[in-house]
Amino acid sequence: MFHRLANPSLSVRMARWGIAIVALYGLIALITPWLVQAGLLPDPNGGLENPIYAPPSLAHWCGTDRLGRDVCVRTLSGSSVALQVVLIALLLALAIGVPLGMVSGYLGGGVDRLLVLVMDTLYTLPVLLLSVVLAFLLGRGLPNAAAALCVVYVPQYFRVVRNQSAQVKAELFIEAARSLGAGPAWILRRYLFRNVITSVPVLLTLNAADAVLVLGGLGFLGLGLPETIPEWGSDLQQALTALPTGIWWTALFPGLAMFVLVLGLSFLGEGLENWLSGSPVNLS
């Protein structure tokens, strides 16, 4: 997402900021549900007793929305939902795309041509468009949103790993292993995996930033999660009608939360890219 930076100190600062931001969101995602359950924070779906569209105040730091729900709590709860959906989706995409890419790149032949055809077809479709179609077919819900995102990102892992596997299989140590009687399964596990997996963390981090935006786009279009689940995109969609009347807080805080998380993940991806490409980033 970011081009290589000429100033390494700037890259170090970006990596540090990325780690700090992602860690902060992870902490918020972990403790917010517990605080709500313990009664230390109000229910993100409650608010019948609150005034609607109340501006930010000491009682409601980020104001209330059209149903009297606390915008601050819904924004904090949205962190947990976003990270949960994105993490599940990308881990599934990783678990599917990496093995398929290794098998395709190593075996070649008809298997490779078939997998490349399928994955290239999916890859040529715009990410948001493909996710919208899948979300529409699967319906609203957390597992369905994660499944839609998973399918979208599988081709990216497949393409990267497949290309690297095709290069690595021509190396002398692979030929030596084959001459000693090692089978394809052993070579894939023992030799190929450790040589192709190094580029995956960077792709995973940058895909996470992209997936947060795609999930928000699905919610904004009404195809993501049910309204009872706090999610930044759906909250932004609900805030759209009130924004022209001067009610800015219902859109500002969910949008700002999404923007900062995407920025942090992008910074983290840049730091990982520098480190894994041979330009170490000293984070100490």
CB-based burial of residue 59 (10 Å sphere; 0-12 exposed, 13-18 middle, 19+ buried)? exposed
Flag whether 6 is in a domain. Answer: no
Torsion of CA 25, 28, 29, 31, to 10 degrees: 160
Could you list the residue range(s) of the whole structural domain that residue 191 is in?
Answer: 28-47+60-276
Average pLDDT over residues 36-50: 88
Region of residue 108 (left: phi > 0; alpha: psi -120 to 50; beta: else): left
**C-alpha torsion sign, points 242, 246, 249, 254:** positive
Helix (H, G, I), strand (E, B) or coil at 140: coil
pLDDT at 278: 53
Flag whether 13 is in a domain. Answer: no
Average pLDDT over residues 260-273: 90
DSSP lists the bridge partners of residue 70 as 64
Average pLDDT over residues 106-127: 91
What's the pLDDT tens digit per position in 134-193?
Answer: 999 998 889 999 999 999 999 999 999 999 888 888 777 787 877 877 777 888 887 788
Q: Are 43 and 36 in contact (CB under 8 A)?
A: yes
Distances in Å between the Cα of 70 and the Cα atoms of 30, 35, 36, 41, 58 are 19, 14, 12, 10, 12
Of all residues in the chain, the percent with pLDDT exceeding 70 is 94
Flag whether 174 is in a domain. Answer: yes
Please state, in angstroms and rounded to a whole number, the distance separating the CA atoms of residues 114 and 92.
21
Flag whether 55 is in a domain. Answer: no
Prediction pTM value: 0.88
Please state, in angstroms and rounded to a whole number, the distance separating the CA atoms of residues 196 and 210.
22
Flag whether 133 is in a domain. Answer: yes
Average pLDDT over residues 23-35: 95
Please state, in angstroms and rounded to a whole number, the distance separating the CA atoms of residues 168 and 105.
9
pLDDT at 279: 45
Please state, in angstroms and rounded to a whole number, the distance separating the CA atoms of residues 205 and 193.
19
Nearest-CA neighbor of 188 among 176, 198, 174? 174
Report the domain count for the chain.
Answer: 1
Token readout for 258 is: 């999404």
Of all residues in the chain, the percent with pLDDT exceeding 90 is 61
What's the pLDDT tens digit per position in 57-114?
Answer: 998 999 999 999 999 999 999 999 999 999 999 999 999 999 999 999 988 889 999 9
pLDDT > 50? residue 5: no
pLDDT at 277: 64
Give 202's pLDDT tier (boundaries 50, 70, 90).
Answer: confident
Region of residue 266 (left: phi > 0; alpha: psi -120 to 50; beta: else): alpha
Residue 4 DSSP label: P
pLDDT at 181: 77
pLDDT at 8: 57
Token readout for 170 is: 């021509």
pLDDT > 80? residue 244: yes
What's the pLDDT tens digit per position in 230-241?
Answer: 999 999 999 998
Token readout for 77 is: 């709860």
Instruction: Return the CATH number at 125.
Output: 1.10.3720.10
In Å, the largest CA–CA distance within the chain is 76
**Contacts by 260-263 with C-beta closer than 8 Å and gap 24+?**
260/21, 261/21, 261/22, 261/25, 261/79, 261/82, 261/209, 261/212, 262/209, 262/212, 262/213, 263/21
Flag whether 18 is in a domain. Answer: no
The chain-wide mean pLDDT, for the chain, equals 88
Flag whether 237 is in a domain. Answer: yes
Flag whether 71 is in a domain. Answer: yes
